[in-house]
Structure 1
Amino acid sequence: MRKFLLSTVALGAMAGSALAADLPSTKAAPAPAYVPPAPVFTWTGLYIGVEGGGDFRRTHYSYSNTGLDQDAGLVGGLIGYNWQTSSFGISNLVIGLEGDAAAVLGGNRAYTYNGTQVYSTRYKSNYAAAIRGRLGLSAWDRALLYVAGGVAFGDNEVRYYGQSFADSPNYTTSRTGWTIGAGLDYAFTPTWIGRIEYRYVDLGRGGYYNYGTFVNDRIEVTSHQVLGALIYKWGQPFDSAPVVAKY
């Protein structure tokens, strides 16, 4: 009898273990590892850069009613600030303000007129600068298409040479005009940006009194500029929420 009872208890324990193994586990499965979302680049921030390119200038002289094409180079720098927003019902809108200044290299041209008299006029410019507002659209992740326009600054130097002007008088006038253009910025990294741009510049019709001919001369200066730039950007390189660890 004793052996029978022991055998019954043993069989019951074995059956209970088997049933417990078949029951679903109440232990929670491990949570999947948190993967933060990919950061999104933003154009917001302060930037500086260097620029250079070609300055294809047209100078028209009222005294002789003639024009002169001057091809020169530009080397300078720029500074600006961009703000990227989704306001005004436009997503990825970029609004900015930029200033730049460049030295004009070359473009010193002259021509001779007044029959056989050796009488020449030489034109040149020394600098070009502008303050412009920018309006752009971040069409792709790191490409910005924009238009820009504002106030342009420059100078125009006129020097006369000839038999009637032994002292070769020189006249230099500073100019203020306007500019408009368009370009493409591309961010190769979160902080380094490349640019290509076209600008049209009109420095107006500045006048001065010519003591050689005793008349008021007027010179109209317009320019087509093609520029490239390398830019370094500060500010938060990405627009993303802070990552909060969850356990």
Structure 2
Amino acid sequence: MRKVLLSTVALMAMAGSAFAADLPSIKAPPPVYVPPPPVFSWTGFYIGVEGGGDFRNFHDNWTGNGIYKDAGLIGGVLGYNWQFNQFVVGLEGDAAAVLGGDQAYTYNGNLIYNNTLNSTYAAAIRGRLGMAVWDRALLYVAGGVAFGDVKVGYNNGILLPASYTTSRTGWTIGAGVDYAFTPNWITRIEYRYVDLGSGGYYNYGEFVHDGVNVTSNQVMGAIMYKFGGPVAEPVVARY
């Protein structure tokens, strides 16, 4: 009887093993694929507003006197960037109004002859070269052609007050950093040096041909909107 019972248990164990082998294997489901976040690109058109400080130096060539004038700038900016790996090249134009009153100086301390010097606008067309660093930060240098005007006012107590205004073309160079705090919105801080050269005019105070050399140091901030979103990475099927 004992042998029969042991034989029965052995046969049942073998049958259970064979039945388990015939069952399909159960595998865990594959992990859900999560695509990587889109890659930000600086390529695209942008437009915005800018403002800052304009620290301008007017130097009169005849008298040797000058004025350091602190003024404000407010205007607009537009441009286009192309990104190649980490390098970014671009072309940009901007124009701003110079906000600040006339400032006068006295020729050789003599109150008879007062001269005022002023500018009303500043503009530039610049090329840019930068490097994308720190995720969405762009460090760049920029340079190109600068435009502006110079208004000379004079009153020597003999002639009626008069003024002379001339438009100028010069050069500018600077550097700054752009930061994209969203895929479309960009902030900026930048320094620029501007040289508008020495333009001539007839100085009725001294009855001589004169000229005024104009240079400027500008510290600018801007907020800009970039058209087009980030570039999505291609989805690759994974098995």
Output the TM-score relative to the length of structure 1.
0.86
Cα displacement (A) at 1:113: 2.0
Which has the higher mean CA deviation after the structures are superposed, 199-208 or 33-42?
33-42
d(CA) in 1 for partners of 2:226 and 2:205?
A: 51
Aligned ranges 1:80-159 → 2 under 5 Å? 80-86=79-85, 92-114=86-108, 116-159=110-153
Residue 21 of structure 1 aligns to a residue in which SS? helix
The answer to whether the Cα contact below 8 Å between 1:70 and 1:107 also exists between their aligned partners in 2 is no
Residue aligning to 1:16? 15
2:62 alignment partner AA: Y
**From 187, 192, 206, the counterpart of 1:194:** 187
The answer to whether the Cα contact below 8 Å between 1:142 and 1:187 also exists between their aligned partners in 2 is yes
d(CA) in 1 for partners of 2:15 and 2:37?
A: 51
Residue aligning to 1:89? none
Cα displacement (A) at 1:107: 4.8
Residue aligning to 2:235? 243
Aligned ranges 1:37-116 → 2 under 5 Å? 37-86=36-85, 92-114=86-108, 116=110
2:105 alignment partner AA: Y
Residue aligning to 1:209? 202
d(CA) in 2 for partners of 1:106 and 1:150?
A: 25
Output the TM-score relative to the length of structure 2.
0.89
2:163 alignment partner AA: N
Is 1:226 matched with 2:214?
Answer: no
The answer to whether the Cα contact below 8 Å between 1:50 and 1:231 also exists between their aligned partners in 2 is yes
d(CA) in 1 for partners of 2:167 and 2:226?
A: 32
Cα displacement (A) at 1:47: 0.4
Residue aligning to 2:158? 164
Q: Deviations over 1:84-132 (max 9, x none)?
A: 113xxxxx10101000000000052101125545210000000000000
2:216 alignment partner AA: S
Residue 134 of structure 2 aligns to a residue in which SS? coil
- Paired positions, count: 234
Structure 1 runs not aligned, ≥5 long: 1-7, 87-91
The answer to whether the Cα contact below 8 Å between 2:55 and 2:218 also exists between their aligned partners in 1 is yes
Structure 2 runs not aligned, ≥5 long: 1-7
Aligned-residue identity in percent: 62
The answer to whether the Cα contact below 8 Å between 1:80 and 1:98 also exists between their aligned partners in 2 is yes
Cα displacement (A) at 1:213: 3.3
1:243 alignment partner AA: V
Cα displacement (A) at 1:239: 2.5
Residue aligning to 1:5? none
d(CA) in 1 for partners of 2:237 and 2:87?
A: 32
- Across the aligned residues of Structure 1 and Structure 2, the Cα RMSD in angstroms comes to 2.5
Cα displacement (A) at 1:207: 0.6
Cα displacement (A) at 1:63: 1.6
2:209 alignment partner AA: N
Residue aligning to 1:4? none
d(CA) in 2 for partners of 1:190 and 1:83?
A: 16
d(CA) in 1 for partners of 2:55 and 2:179?
A: 25
Residue 133 of structure 2 aligns to a residue in which SS? coil
